[in-house]
Structure 1
Amino acid sequence: MPPTSARADAQRARVLAASVEIFGTRGYRATSMNEIAAGVGLSKPTLYHYFRNKEELLVRIYSDVLDESLRMAQETVDAAATPFDGLHDLLVSRVVHTCENRELLKICFEEEDELRPDLSEELIVRRRLFEDVAVSALRRHLDEHPEVRLAMAPKVFVNMCLGAVNWTYKWYRPTGPRTAAELGREMADALLAVLVPPA
């Protein structure tokens, strides 16, 4: 009896979760489909019913992360009282998300070269949609405060900020003195200080 849609979706979610754990531990290239099947308690033929190969798994992981990131970014910016608050809240949320999903983000940041160029380009386009949410908020802030001067283009500034907050997956420790939210607020305050209009 073939799995129902709900059962199939639940099984795919289990496979993806196991893949994230195994890719994060062993690396994408060193992981086999046999290991993933064993990790989720499926036979290899059954696993191929849900995902045809490792690359499809990796693409799905990237796609899910990008979709969720874009949704969170748009909701965060839309809910903020001002464009500055939206950009600030967005950076805080990225720190929290990155610190709470370090294994997942490690794969996204370190395994991208394993994708075929055509698939990689598609994901880059989707990543730019996320960046555009932040760039749009920044430009609205600058339009409202012409007295604020940036020493670089808005897109460069946004990518500098995103690079800083994304890198927390490398060094954040949950046992440290700050929660992810506290760290996020400190980082956002520091990165965006140059955008605060002079008194």
Structure 2
Amino acid sequence: MATRETEAGSATGSRADEQRQRILAGAVAVFSRRGYRAASMNEVADQVGLRKPTLYHYVRTKQDLLVAVYEEVLDESLASARRIVAGAPSAREAVRGLIVERVRYTCEHRDLLTICFHEESALPPELAAPILERRREFERVVRDAVTAHLRETGRTLPMSVGTFVNTCLGAANWTYKWFDPAGPRSSRQLGEDVASVLMGVLEG
């Protein structure tokens, strides 16, 4: 049975986590609107209705917020990719599901992806390295699914697996630039469309 001290500590931790998520969401709004370099911590504090000293209680620097944005996108993407592969009835369906989900996520989180695609050069090498490793791990999940499909079916690609995977991810990621939320196709429907085109290469 939890003690009152344990329960209080857990509640305090939960509130702190919620506050950090509010701050991160505020930073995403400011960075995507103003650009990371032009944005200030004052603007982030104003966005979430906090005084600047209170903001610094939860996050030390603007750079820490940028790193947190990358970590959120890549951690969510990697966890989702692993779930899709684990739950797919075949490697083919895993590849298709990965493409559909990548398009859906990109279209529904364009503010996050705008930051990730535009601001990578703002990260110093020591902070960029673990983020790049997360990205490589996500790409490995996709590459392994493609390789498994080729092995299961005996098919070959007219290019290297790495080139095919990068083409798929490039096509999916670029939708953040042109997807219209008010358009005739939902983010998932667009994902299905993109997957159909790319799977045609894989299965041709």
Same-fold status (TM-score > 0.5): yes
| Paired residue total | 195
SS state of the match for residue 129, structure 2?
A: helix
In the alignment, what sits opposite 2:63?
A: 55
Q: Report how far residue 151 of structure 1 moved.
A: 2.0
SS state of the match for residue 31, structure 1?
A: coil
Question: Which of 83, 88, 102 in structure 2 is aligned with 1:94?
Answer: 102
In the alignment, what sits opposite 1:38?
A: 46
1:108-153 superposed Cα distances (whole Å, 9 cap, x missing partner)? 111111111121121111101101111111111111122x221222
Q: Within 2, Cα distance between the matches of 1:106 and 1:154?
A: 27
1:71-101 superposed Cα distances (whole Å, 9 cap, x missing partner)? 0001011111110110101100111111111
Q: Report how far residue 175 of structure 1 moved.
A: 1.1
Q: Residue 46 of structure 2 aligns to which amino acid in structure 1?
A: A
Q: Does 1:113 align with 2:121?
A: yes
1:4-31 superposed Cα distances (whole Å, 9 cap, x missing partner)? 2111111101000010001010000000
**Any gaps of 5 or more consecutive residues in structure 2?**
1-8
1:156-179 superposed Cα distances (whole Å, 9 cap, x missing partner)? 211110010010000000111111
In the alignment, what sits opposite 1:172?
A: 179
Q: Which runs of 4+ in 1 moved over 4 A?
A: none
Q: Within 2, Cα distance between the matches of 1:94 and 1:133?
A: 13
TM-score (norm 2): 0.92
Q: Residue 105 of structure 1 aligns to which amino acid in structure 2?
A: L
Q: Does 1:124 align with 2:125?
A: no
Q: Percent identity?
A: 51
Q: Within 2, Cα distance between the matches of 1:166 and 1:93?
A: 11
Q: Within 2, Cα distance between the matches of 1:35 and 1:175?
A: 29
Q: Within 1, Cα distance between the matches of 2:136 and 2:159?
A: 18
Q: Within 2, Cα distance between the matches of 1:194 and 1:160?
A: 11
In the alignment, what sits opposite 1:133?
A: 141
Q: Within 2, Cα distance between the matches of 1:101 and 1:188?
A: 19
Q: Within 2, Cα distance between the matches of 1:115 and 1:192?
A: 35
Q: Within 2, Cα distance between the matches of 1:172 and 1:11?
A: 31
Q: Report how far residue 194 of structure 1 moved.
A: 1.8
Output the aligned Cα RMSD: 1.3
Q: Residue 160 of structure 1 aligns to which amino acid in structure 2?
A: T
In the alignment, what sits opposite 1:185?
A: 192
Q: Residue 39 of structure 2 aligns to which amino acid in structure 1?
A: T
SS state of the match for residue 4, structure 1?
A: helix
TM-score (norm 1): 0.94
SS state of the match for residue 182, structure 2?
A: coil
In the alignment, what sits opposite 2:202?
A: 195
In the alignment, what sits opposite 1:156?
A: 163
Q: Residue 176 of structure 1 aligns to which amino acid in structure 2?
A: G
